[in-house]
Amino acid sequence: MQKLMMVLIVSTLLYSQDAYQRNCVECHKTLPISLQRIFMNYLLVYGGEKNTKVALKYFMRYPRKDTSVLSNLFLENFDVKQPLTISDKELTEAIDIYWEKYKVIGKLK
């Protein structure tokens, strides 16, 4: 009974987080570059919302050094991430949350 309760508690905590928290923050929290900085790099390279989201989704599925927006120095020290194996729906949700969290338009005063 205790094991079942523990599994239920862990499952509830895990799934109470959104797709961005589960799939992005957990892996990036130990890296020396913030998700906000990576977002700004994507904006510099890809410009607007549509291009940035498409580029993010493609990179999450097919990560390569030549399509990364991170510096060569960073990639030499940390290498390129492994492809995400989550569903397209969850990946899209995570990217949408990521966009809303760090977008600049509408937040400048």
DSSP per-residue letters across 3-60:
HHHHHHHHHHHHHHS-HHIIIIIHHHTTSSS-HHHHHHHHHHHH-SHHHHHHHHHHHH
Query: Quick one: pLDDT at residue 28?
Result: 86
Other CB atoms within 10 A of residue 26 CB? 11
Query: Quick one: pLDDT at residue 15?
Result: 54
In this predicted structure, the answer to whether residue 108 has a pLDDT above a threshold of 60 is no
Report residue 49 CA to chain centroid gap. 15
Per-residue pLDDT band at 91 (split at 50, 70, 90):
very high
User: Residue 17: phi, psi to the nearest 5?
Assistant: -80, 150
What's the rounded Cα separation, in Å, for the pair 28 and 106? 26
What's the rounded Cα separation, in Å, for the pair 27 and 57? 16
Question: What tokens appear for 70 in the block?
Answer: 């991170």
- What pTM was computed for the model? 0.78
Query: Quick one: pLDDT at residue 109?
Result: 54
Query: Quick one: pLDDT at residue 93?
Result: 97
Query: Quick one: pLDDT at residue 104?
Result: 77
| pLDDT: which is higher, 2 or 77 | 77
Other CB atoms within 10 A of residue 24 CB? 21
Closest listed residue to residue 69, CA positions, set 94, 39, 28: 39
Q: Mean pLDDT of all residues in the chain?
A: 86
